[in-house]
Structure 1
Amino acid sequence: MSTQVEHHRDHRWHRFSCRANFERSAHDFILDAAMRSIDDTGRFRLVLSGGRTPRRLYASLRLAQTDWSAWVLYFSDERCLPENDPHRNSRMAAEAWLDHVPIPAGQIHVIPAELGPERGADHYSRQLAGVDTFDLVLLGLGEDGHTASLFPDGDWESAASWPDAIPVQDAPKPPPERVSLSPARLSRTRQCLFLITGSDKREAVDRWRAGTGSPASRIRANAGVDVFLDLE
């Protein structure tokens, strides 16, 4: 269980006393969202985050008791690397989780970032054209404040409107070329859950809470945004 839940800026901030409680609660949050969505609509549209934080969480989902045939998966962002590069978010998720459960292959929508940022974003935007609202979006937060591949002061911030997926040409972390879902597309969701771990994220969390232009502040959800924190 979380040690503290605080409501601030239309978000619910959950602070955990240890990593085990953090991961168990995130696991339960995802499965509760899946159960409700499958009961309501017969499917569960989930957007996956990359990075280090969710790897053990994804592995824990291998043994979940759920109707895997109802799960439809998307990705929040991807690095422009070869398809099987170990640094791709899709490869991490496959190795930790997706290769071990019977989700139909046609329901796992990987970003074709190997095509490069412009073509990859265009292809993924077309894949998403017929997709209505996601059921749950998982996101993280970098020590520099980025979420998905939306970095502070990136070109995306000056755009008047966004397609569903946007090319990233100059990410300050390698690799510089990426594809990211836009803030508007990430916000078309019933629920959003941020998973944030590590003491190196404290300053980024503080900037976000203070409202000082964090990319994470652009993300909304129909039922509000939940933020799980283990910053020890």
Structure 2
Amino acid sequence: MSQENLAKTRWLVVADVVTAALVGVAQAAERAISIRGEFHIVLAGGNTPKALYERLTNLETDWSCWHIWYGDERCLPADDINRNSHMATQAWLANCPIPATHIHTIHAERGAEIAAADYAEQLQQVEMFDLVLLGLGEDGHTASLFPDQFDPDNPAAAIAVHNAPKPPADRVSLTVRCLNGTRAALFLVTGAGKRDAVAAWQRGDPIPAAAIAVKTGVDVLLEPVCVKENV
């Protein structure tokens, strides 16, 4: 991770990550819709984003302007409960009037290679995201970009991931380059198990999460238990 990237990373320790993220998403949506008439958001998987999505159902906004994208997906049947798209649908998308044509699913059930190529083509519809939501794994991974397996300079938009250290082994992920094509990036980090990954990031270790670099800077929402003392 470059010192420039590290300097543009804002570590925001908050009592309630979900509430803080809700405010961030609402503000980003309002700004994008008022300026450009549409809001392109990239979703993350995981329990903390799920809690956020459940609360987004009650957001007062013009849902017709929203476009939903996914940062990664697992190569499982479309209705598998471990799919990110399934989780987001059940927690939120099935309960709000975002047009179906604005929900851009990764069809990972077709296989990683085919799904990655298909999603790369879909991504040509958007010049730049307005907000990318991301999580942080205990090993420092984000989306399905894992240590020792990702290329921060890959020019593609979406890639097939094989031999992932977490099941399932086959996945589809947006690349660093694609994720960095956003006006704002927001990490949601909860749990004491993330302390080592956060410390590595703050030291400047080259973990995948640290490769996310946005011109406006990256915001990392952290629970107090995620931060080691004297780091």
If the TM-score is normalised by the length of the shorter chain, which range does it land in?
over 0.9
C-alpha displacement of 1:161: 2.8
Match status 1:181 vs 2:146: no
Q: Which secondary structure does the structure 2 equivalent of 1:134 belong to?
A: coil
After superposition, where does 1:124-143 map in structure 2 within 5 Å? 124-143=119-138
Match of 2:18 in 1: 23
% identical aligned pairs: 49
Q: Where has structure 1 moved over 4 Å in runs of 4 or more?
A: none
Contact map agreement 1:188 1:222 (CA 8 A) in 2 = no
Q: In structure 2, how many angstroms separate the alpha carbons of the residues matched to 1:162 and 1:31? A: 31
Task: Note the C-alpha offset of 1:9.
Answer: 2.3
Structure 2 residue matching 1:161: 3-state secondary structure: coil
Q: Aligned partners of 2:113, 2:224: CA distance in 1, in Å?
A: 35
Please state which structure has a larger fraction of its residues in strand: 1
Partner of 2:39: 44
Q: Measure how far apart 1:162 and its partner are.
A: 2.7
Q: Distance in 1 between matches of 2:102 and 2:153?
A: 32
SS at 1:190 equivalent? coil
Q: Which runs of 5+ in 1 are unaligned?
A: 1-6
Change (3 A) 1:8 1:123: closer
Verify: 1:10 aligned to 2:3, yes or no: no
Q: Within 2, Cα distance between the matches of 1:174 and 1:25?
A: 30
| Structure 1 residue corresponding to 2:161, chosen from 145, 148, 168 | 168
What is the identity, as a one-letter code, of the residue corresponding to 1:228? Answer: L
Deviations 1:119-164 (A, max 9, x none): 110000011123201000000001111100000000x32x753310
TM-score, L = length of structure 2: 0.93
In 1, the alpha carbon distance for the partners of 2:211 and 2:153 equals 14
Name the CA distance, whole Å, in 1 between partners of 2:154 and 2:172: 16
Residue 141 of structure 1 aligns to which amino acid in structure 2? Answer: L
Letter in 1 for 2:212: I
Query: Which structure 2 residue ranges, 5 or more long, are not aligned?
Result: 226-231
CA drift at 1:231: 4.6
Query: What amino acid does structure 1 have at the position aligned with 2:125?
Result: G
The CA deviation at 1:51 is: 1.4
Instruction: Report the Cα offset of residue 228 of structure 1.
Output: 0.1
Identify which range, 67-76 or 222-231, moves more after superposition.
222-231
Alignment size in residue pairs: 221
Match of 1:90 in 2: 85
Q: Which of residues 207, 214, 217 in structure 1 aligns to 2:200? A: 207
2:153 and 2:43 map into 1 onto residues whose CA distance is 26
Q: Is the 8 A contact 1:202 1:231 kept in 2?
A: no
Distance in 2 of aligned mates of 1:112 and 1:91: 12
Q: What secondary structure is seen at the aligned counterpart in 1 of 2:87?
A: helix
Matches within 5 A, 1:45-194: 45-154=40-149, 156-157=150-151, 161-194=154-187
RMSD value over aligned CA atoms? 1.3
TM superposition score normalised by structure 1: 0.92
Q: Is the 8 A contact 2:154 2:176 kept in 1?
A: no
Answer whether contact 1:140 1:148 (CA < 8 A) is retained: yes
Any residues of structure 2 matched to 1:208-227 within 5 Å, and which? 208-227=201-220
